[in-house]
Amino acid sequence: MSSPADHHPEALLARWWQDYTNTGGPDDNDRLSADERLAITAPFGQSWPGRAPTPTLVDEADAMAEQYARAFLAQHPHARLGLVAAPRGADALAITGWAGPLNYDNDTAKFSAVVRDWEDRFGARLVGVGFDTLHLSIAAPPNRLEDALVIAAEHFACCPDNIWQGDHPHLAAYAEHLIELNCWDFWWD
């Protein structure tokens, strides 16, 4: 595994976007037609829209993380506390060797690099991980659909299963879900 510092988050997201909008996945098991893939990623289609602009932090990031951690524990009473010696929360993913997105990429440091970027831009804090899940608190959620659409594109690039297999069948529906949402949850199949 590499180091999160070895990767540029926007380049990773752009490459993943191209991979998933062109083929439907790393092994193309989903067998989506080109038209189906374009409908899912509308209004962007195969064109990477770039990263969302950095908003002004709405809440203090650590306070929001504490609030979300309490809510997370209420919903997951059997969750266990894990402490990792890491310079920042995102790095804990690579340091522990977490393998959540294994079906997409074996190098968790790439995902750590993206989460680092979200820490800096959105006040994201790592609150929980599971076998194939990632849970982040967000201090600066989008409050406009235009911004939420670009964030939805980032989420799709990082974790296409959130949309391919989630409750929101396309980017626009997923983006509406993200407005003012102070937690982002990811699931890889």
CA geometry: angle at 17 spanning 12 and 22, to 5°?
A: 135
Classify the C-alpha dihedral 100-47-41-143 as positive or negative: positive
Q: For residue range 104-143, what is the model confidence (pLDDT) as tens digits?
A: 988 999 999 999 999 999 999 999 999 999 999 999 999 9
Q: For residue range 53-76, what is the model confidence (pLDDT) as tens digits?
A: 998 877 799 999 999 999 999 999
Where are the chain's structural domains? 4-24+67-187
Based on the number of CB atoms within 10 Å of its own CB, is 88 exposed (0-12), middle (13-18) or buried (19 or more)? middle
Is the pTM for the entire model greater than 0.85?
Answer: yes
